């Protein structure tokens, strides 16, 4: 346990040090890569709350990631065209302010997760997997068939949204924002895992019947975790959209759901920093293997298969164990 | 809207539905017998389509192409079962999801590597080209009618296989009691490989048949597979009968919804808005159907009560 | 006399042609241990499931603490103060003994949705107290999956106690225990009736006769007799249907 804690500190430090060093050396691209890692890790941290702590194998987290992305896209596109979102019964205007966008993204993720959760948590196991996957696909097709916000082509935002006191067009400053939000989410999840709610959620994963007999509702516990999880992933979606200054239905696709899950698993399910390591490894593979071969996902597939079949604790499991062995 | 157009759309829905059934039957069989959720089922669909397009390109024979799709998908299924899948039966669903997701990546990228990113085309054979006239003066493409026929034949064949053959008895026994069947001396690992290859062959067949009306390309399988999941959720896991009923329901709902909803909304709003709202809603219709079934019967229309 | 804490009236439950509960009426009064006995297949498990709320009766009513709970689920009934244990131990296997008890303590305190404070800070004295009552004080740090069968049974009792329930429903707490375990469990349960009455389903007749204030005998889904231990021993129907087979 202690070894894992040290490893977590190390990961946080490296994820901060690398882009800062790259920025000082003038390598902007590395800063962008690190920002991608932070944002995707945040999406994974969200899923990890449902998957790792709650045992909910959701293959539909793209719905929340996309909801956050579109929250940003819709608000910012209205702000850039000076068209209000709604005039009646009250006026709602677009905005380019990140804090407002984040709140809207979190709310839309939470509401989507509540709706999907209420329906899909009536079931469990393999049903739950298929249903979350299907609802994710519903969001995807809806985004494609709703032309007001770009339909299949998506939406471009010309200038990155702003944050009071920062110049978000500076890659390192935008990275700092994303990194800070990731750390906040990690601290939040660590607290939740150690809290009474975390204990109850953990118990539900292992024995729902036991939890019922002490007078708790497994459905409500799971739904709460699912909503929190969706909200965090939606925040990541808003940041991802801001990073690319672009949203498209791809954010809702089943591949996105699969990739978010891959971040969590590659790093190690239920481990606090699993998604961070997973996202970092994913981005590095994409960067390096993608440079070697156009078909880099083939190698990703083989690696993932290897991790699932042979390294069940994920990469943190491998490293943390090795550290214990050395210590 | 004319009656003829409506009947045509119902037939289109049926055609879509029976293809979904051929996909879903394999998935639900594999889940029912082995307890495995296989996300790579769509890849087998794709493999069938690519095998068919390749063989049709070489020989010009559509029937040989269909045979190739069955053989290629069954072979791919059997190999995957032996190399990867059988290590997953004892694992939890999460591991199954991840491993089969990895298989999708491997199959999709491998296919892209072999065939490139451009779509292939598989032509409808000459003898099925053109329309047939149905009673009531309806002209309907012969090929689509043939698909409906093949789908229903597969349904009948599966029913006969499960109800009437020794293999079927073993499959049913495997669904209800795994230890029992092993105790009876049935080679369970051979049975599993066989069932998996059978499901794969069906997926491959569906891919080839649909490949002739759509294009054959990487990534074609997953949207169909997700719809097959919707079918299974509605029909009830492990139930072939449920899969059939739900497939037709989903197929017809999706097809008719796309046509009728914009028309229906045009009664109450401007045509351009009606088109917009109607088609957006139509894209969500089958998921709404799934949600309703979940509320009313969480274990599906024909699923065992949880 | 005061109203019974738990009262079943004419509860019926059928599975196809099988009548698992056939007009069962039964009550549990303050301060008593009421044992429910019957041969295998008599419908005891089905009845327990209906009392706990995991199975809905076809007809009849169940009142608990003056309230109609016939249509409430298991967690709602637990919140009202109905604590149960299972025939096959149901503890959270990956938790320590202390965490298992803590789960019940925090549920009772209504703090299970608290997210910002640490779980073990709030109730270690209570956990220690319940563990002490069942003799698990020195096992607090052990994983629930590693402790002995008898200890797991006692852990279940501790979790039930931590709920400060208004009634206990214990499904074969002595099952699978040796003679020593049975007598230890008997002396653990004996004073519990003063905290809350116990509906005790049990196969071990010696334990039943030692503990029960009243006994009901369930045969083929029907209660054929209810009375004191002495009355039940004398009852001709019971002797014929149940004890008679053994004698």
Lowest mean pLDDT among A158-167, B98-107, B260-269: B260-269
Give the integer Cα–Cα distance in Å for B95 and A164: 44
Chain C: closest CA distance from residue A2 (Å): 18
Are B140 and B147 within 8 A, CB to CB?
no
List Cβ neighbours of C193 (8 Å cut-off, separation of 6 or more): C31, C32, C33, C213
Is the predicted pLDDT of residue A322 greater than 60, yes or no?
no
- Residues of A (195-224) whose Cβ lies below 8 Å from C: 195-200, 202-203, 206-207, 209-218, 221, 224
Give which of A84, A61, A110, A70 is closest to A242, Cα–Cα. Answer: A70
Helix or strand holding residue A317 (H, E): helix A314-326
Q: In the structure, what pLDDT confidence band is assigned to residue A327 with cuts at 50, 70 and 90?
A: very low
Cis preceding linkage at A76, omega within 30? no
| B283/A142 Cβ within 8 A | yes
pLDDT score recorded for residue A15:
94
A203, A215 in Cβ contact below 8 A? no
Instruction: Say if B299 is an interface residue toward chain A (CB within 8 Å).
Output: yes
pLDDT at residue number A223: 97
- Residue C6 CA to residue B295 CA, distance in Å, equals 33
Q: Given A130, A137, A296, which is nearest B233 (Cβ)?
A: A130
B290 at A interface, C-beta within 8 A: yes
Contact A224 C113 (CB under 8 A): yes
Examine the pLDDT at B173 and tell me if it is beyond 80: no
Domain extents in chain C: 1-81+166-247, 91-164
pLDDT per residue over B182-225, tens digit each?
676 777 888 899 999 999 999 999 999 999 999 899 999 999 99
Distance from CA of A285 to the nearest CA of C (A): 35
Query: Shortest Cα distance from C3 to chain A (angstroms)?
Result: 24
In B108-168, where do the E strands start and end?
131-134, 138-141
d(CA C85, CA A207): 14
B229 in any annotated domain: no
Task: Quote the minimal CA–CA distance from A295 to chain B in Å.
Answer: 6
Q: What's residue B15's pLDDT?
A: 95
Which of A147, A297, A312 is opposite residue B276, by nearest beta carbon?
A147
Instruction: In whole angstroms, give the CA distance from residue C145 to residue C137.
Output: 17
- Which chain A residues touch C92 with a CB distance below 8 Å? 202-203, 206-207, 210
Q: Sort out which chain B residues have CB atoms less than 8 A from A301's CB and list them.
A: 102-106, 109
Tell me the mean pLDDT in the region A260-274: 89
In a domain, B257, yes or no: no
* B144 inside domain: yes
A142:B279 CB<8 A: no
φ, ψ (nearest 5 deg) of residue B134? -100, 160
**Secondary structure element (H or E) that encloses residue C27, with its range:** strand C18-28
Give the mean pLDDT of B83-98: 91
CB A241 within 8 A of CB A251: yes
Task: Give the mean pLDDT of C24-52.
Answer: 92
Contact A44, A267 (CB under 8 A): yes
Asked if pLDDT for residue B306 goes beyond 70, the answer is no
Percentage, residues of chain C above pLDDT 90: 66
C247 compared with C126, residue with greater pLDDT: C126
Partner residue facing A200 (CB), from C74, C94, C112:
C112
**Distance from C-alpha of C105 to C-alpha of C126, rounded to nearest angstrom:** 7
Contact A210 C118 (CB under 8 A): no
From the list B99, B279, B294, the residue facing A308 with the nearest CB is B99
List the subunits that have 3+ CB pairs under 8 angstroms with C: A
Q: What is the mean pLDDT of chain C?
A: 90
pLDDT at B140 over 70: yes
Chains in contact with chain A (at least 3 beta-carbon pairs closer than 8 A): B, C
Give the pLDDT of residue A326: 31
Query: Does A165 sit behind a cis peptide bond, omega within 30 degrees of 0 on the bond before it?
Result: no
How many independent structural domains does chain B possess?
Answer: 1
Buried-exposed string C179-199: b where 16+ CB fall within 10 A, e elsewhere: eebbebbbebbeebbeebbbb
Q: Min CA distance, A205 vs chain C (Å)?
A: 9
Task: Please list every residue in chain C whose beta carbon sits closer than 8 Å to the beta carbon of residue A185.
Answer: none
Q: Point out which residues pair with C201 in neighbouring strands.
A: C36, C171
- Nearest CB neighbour to B106, from listed A123, A148, A302: A302
Mean pLDDT score, B83-95: 91
Q: What is the CATH number of domain A2-326?
A: 1.10.3470
Any A CB within 8 A of B275 CB: no
Q: Which of the two residues, C123 and C187, has the higher pLDDT score?
A: C187
The single residue listed with the structure tokens 């929340």 is A64
Nearest CA in chain A to B233: A127
Instruction: Check pLDDT > 60 for residue C66.
Output: yes
Give me the pLDDT at residue C1, please.
54
Cβ distance of C115 and A211 shorter than 8 Å: no
CATH class of the region C1-81+166-247? alpha beta
Q: Are B290 and B234 in contact (CB under 8 A)?
A: yes
Q: Which of A185, A187, A188, A196 to mutate to test the interface with C (most CBs of C within 10 A)?
A: A196
Which residue shows structure tokens 């049709």? Answer: B56
Using a CB-CB cut-off of 8 Å, the residues of chain C touching A217 are: 73, 75
Task: Give the pLDDT score at A325.
Answer: 30
Res. C103: pLDDT tops 90: yes
Q: Is the separation of the CB atoms in A195 and C113 below 8 Å?
A: no
For C59, what's the count of Cα atoms within 13 Å in the CB-facing half-sphere?
6
Asked if chain B contacts chain A via 3 or more Cβ pairs within 8 Å, the reply is: yes
Report d(CA B203, CA B225) in Å as an integer: 9
Mean pLDDT over residues C1-17, rounded? 88
CB half-sphere exposure, A130, CA atoms < 13 A: 34
Task: Determine the residue of chain C that is closest to A221 in CA distance.
Answer: C113
Of A135-149, A239-253, B105-119, B125-139, which range is least confident? B125-139
B233 and A131 within 8 Å at the Cβ level: the answer is yes
Q: Look at chain B and count its residues.
A: 306
The nearest alpha carbon in chain B to A52 belongs to: B94
Least confident of A92-96, A228-232, C130-134: A92-96
- Give B-chain residues touching A312 at CB under 8 angstroms: 95
Average the pLDDT over A132-157 and give the result: 91
**Chains A and C touch each other (3 or more Cβ pairs < 8 A):** yes
d(CA B75, CA B48): 10
* Angle of helix C97-108 versus helix A196-206 axis, rounded to 10: 110
Mutate to test the interface with A, among B34, B39, B233, B236 (most CBs of A within 10 A): B233
Least confident of B140-144, B150-154, B257-261, C239-243: C239-243
Range of the domain at B159: 3-220
pTM score of the predicted model: 0.92
Mean pLDDT of the residues in chain A = 91
Mean pLDDT of A66-84: 93
Residue ranges of the domains in chain A?
2-326
User: Percent of chain C having pLDDT more than 70?
Assistant: 96
CB C119 within 8 A of CB C102: yes
**C120, C98 contact by CB (below 8 A):** yes
The tokens describing B156, both together, are 């009948």
Please give the mean pLDDT across all residues of chain B. Answer: 90
Q: What's chain C's Rg over C-alpha atoms?
A: 18
Q: What is the pLDDT of residues A275-299, one digit of tens each?
A: 999 999 999 999 998 888 888 899 9
pLDDT in tens, C205-219: 889 999 999 999 998
> Which has more confidence, C90 or B114?
B114
Joined tokens for residue A299: 């190698």
How many CA atoms within 13 Å lie on the side-chain side of A296? 13
Prediction ipTM score: 0.90
Ranges A67-71, A269-273, B91-95, B211-215, most confident: A67-71
**How many other CB atoms sit within 10 Å of the CB of residue C31?**
13
Report which of A127, A118, A108 is spatially closest to residue A223, judged by C-alpha positions: A118
Q: Return the number of CB contacts < 8 Å for A and B.
A: 120
Q: Are B265 and B277 in contact (CB under 8 A)?
A: yes
Q: How confident is the model at residue B90 (pLDDT cuts 50, 70, 90)?
A: confident
Residue B279: per-residue pLDDT: 84
* Angle in degrees, CA C24, C45, C4, rounded to 5: 45
């Amino acid at each position: 346990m202690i070894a894992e804690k040290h490893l977590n500190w190390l990961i946080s430090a490296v994820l901060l040090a690398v882009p800062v060093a790259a920025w000082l050396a003038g390598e902007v691209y590395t800063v962008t890569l690190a920002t991608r890692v932070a944002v995707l890790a945040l999406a994974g941290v969200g899923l990890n709350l449902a998957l790792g702590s709650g045992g909910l194998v959701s293959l539909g987290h793209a719905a929340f990631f996309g909801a956050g992305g579109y929250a940003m896209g819709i608000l910012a596109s209205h702000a850039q065209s000076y068209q209000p979102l709604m005039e009646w019964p009250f006026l709602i205007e677009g905005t380019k302010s990140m804090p407002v966008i984040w709140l809207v993204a979190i709310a839309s993720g939470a509401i989507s997760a509540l709706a999907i959760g209420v329906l899909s948590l009536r079931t469990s196991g393999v049903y739950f997997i298929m249903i979350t996957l299907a609802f994710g696909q519903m969001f995807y097709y809806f985004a494609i068939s709703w032309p007001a916000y770009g339909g299949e082509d998506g939406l471009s935002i010309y200038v990155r949204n702003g944050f009071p006191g920062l110049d978000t067009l500076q890659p390192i400053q935008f990275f700092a924002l994303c990194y800070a939000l990731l750390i906040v989410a990690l601290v939040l999840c660590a607290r939740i895992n150690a809290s009474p709610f975390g204990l109850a959620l953990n118990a539900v994963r292992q024995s729902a019947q036991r939890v019922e007999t002490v007078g708790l509702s497994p459905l409500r516990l799971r739904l709460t975790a699912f909503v929190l999880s969706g909200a965090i992933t939606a925040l990541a979606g808003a940041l991802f959209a801001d990073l690319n200054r672009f949203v498209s239905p791809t954010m809702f696709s089943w591949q996105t759901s699969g990739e978010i899950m891959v971040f969590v698993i590659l790093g190690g399910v239920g481990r606090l920093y699993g998604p961070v390591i997973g996202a970092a490894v994913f981005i590095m593979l994409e960067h390096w293997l993608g440079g070697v071969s156009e078909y880099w996902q083939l190698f990703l597939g083989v690696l993932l298969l290897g991790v699932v079949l042979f390294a069940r604790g994920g990469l943190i499991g491998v490293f943390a164990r090795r550290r214990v062995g050395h210590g | 809207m004319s009656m003829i157009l409506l009947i045509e759309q119902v037939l289109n829905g049926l055609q879509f539905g029976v293809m979904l059934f051929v996909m879903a039957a394999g998935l639900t069989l594999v889940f029912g017998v082995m307890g495995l959720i296989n996300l790579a089922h769509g890849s087998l669909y794709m493999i069938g389509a690519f095998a068919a397009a390749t063989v049709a390109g070489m020989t010009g024979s559509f029937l040989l192409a269909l045979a190739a799709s069955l053989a290629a998908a069954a072979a791919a299924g059997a190999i995957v079962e032996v190399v990867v899948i059988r290590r997953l039966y004892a694992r939890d669903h999460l591991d199954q999801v991840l491993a089969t997701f990895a298989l999708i990546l491997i199959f999709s990228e491998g296919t892209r590597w072999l065939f490139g990113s451009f779509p292939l085309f598989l032509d409808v054979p000459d003898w099925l080209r053109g329309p047939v006239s149905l009673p009531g003066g309806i002209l309907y493409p012969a090929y689509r009618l043939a698909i409906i026929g093949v789908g229903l034949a597969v349904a009948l064949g599966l029913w006969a296989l499960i109800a009437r053959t020794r293999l079927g008895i073993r499959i049913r026994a495997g669904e209800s009691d795994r230890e029992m069947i092993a105790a009876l001396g049935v080679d369970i690992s051979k049975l599993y490989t066989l069932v998996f290859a059978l499901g794969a062959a069906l997926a491959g067949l569906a891919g080839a048949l649909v490949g002739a009306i759509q294009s054959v390309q990487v990534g074609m399988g997953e949207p169909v597979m997700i719809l097959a999941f919707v079918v299974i959720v509605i029909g009830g896991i492990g139930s072939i009968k449920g899969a059939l009923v739900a497939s037709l329901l989903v197929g017809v709902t999706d097809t008719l919804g796309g046509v009728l909803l914009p028309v229906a909304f045009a009664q109450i709003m401007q045509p351009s808005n009606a088109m917009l709202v109607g088609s957006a809603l139509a894209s969500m219709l089958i998921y709404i159907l799934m949600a309703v079934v979940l509320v009313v019967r969480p274990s599906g229309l024909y699923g065992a009560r949880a | 006399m005061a109203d019974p804490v738990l009262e079943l009236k004419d509860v019926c439950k059928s599975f196809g042609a099988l009548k698992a509960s056939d007009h069962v009426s039964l009550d549990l009064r303050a301060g008593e241990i009421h044992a429910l006995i019957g041969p295998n297949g008599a419908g005891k498990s089905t009845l327990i499931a209906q009392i706990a709320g995991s199975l809905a009766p076809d007809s009849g009513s169940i009142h608990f603490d003056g309230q109609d709970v016939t249509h409430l689920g298991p967690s709602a009934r637990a919140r009202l103060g109905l604590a149960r244990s299972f025939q096959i131990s149901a503890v959270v296997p990956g938790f320590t003994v202390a965490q298992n008890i803590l789960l019940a303590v925090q549920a009772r305190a209504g703090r299970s949705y608290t997210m910002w404070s640490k779980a073990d800070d709030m109730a270690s004295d209570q956990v220690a107290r319940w563990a002490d009552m069942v003799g698990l004080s020195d096992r607090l740090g052990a994983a629930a999956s590693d402790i002995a069968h008898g200890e797991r049974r006692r852990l279940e009792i501790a979790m039930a106690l931590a709920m400060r329930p208004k009634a206990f429903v214990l499904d074969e707490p002595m099952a699978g225990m040796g003679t020593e375990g049975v007598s230890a469990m008997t002396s653990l349960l004996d004073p519990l009736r003063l905290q809350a009455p116990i509906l005790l389903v049990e196969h071990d007749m010696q334990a039943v006769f030692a503990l029960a204030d009243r006994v009901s005998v369930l045969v083929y889904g029907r209660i054929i007799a209810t009375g004191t231990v002495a009355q039940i021993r004398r009852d001709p129907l019971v002797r014929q249907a149940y004890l008679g087979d053994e004698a």
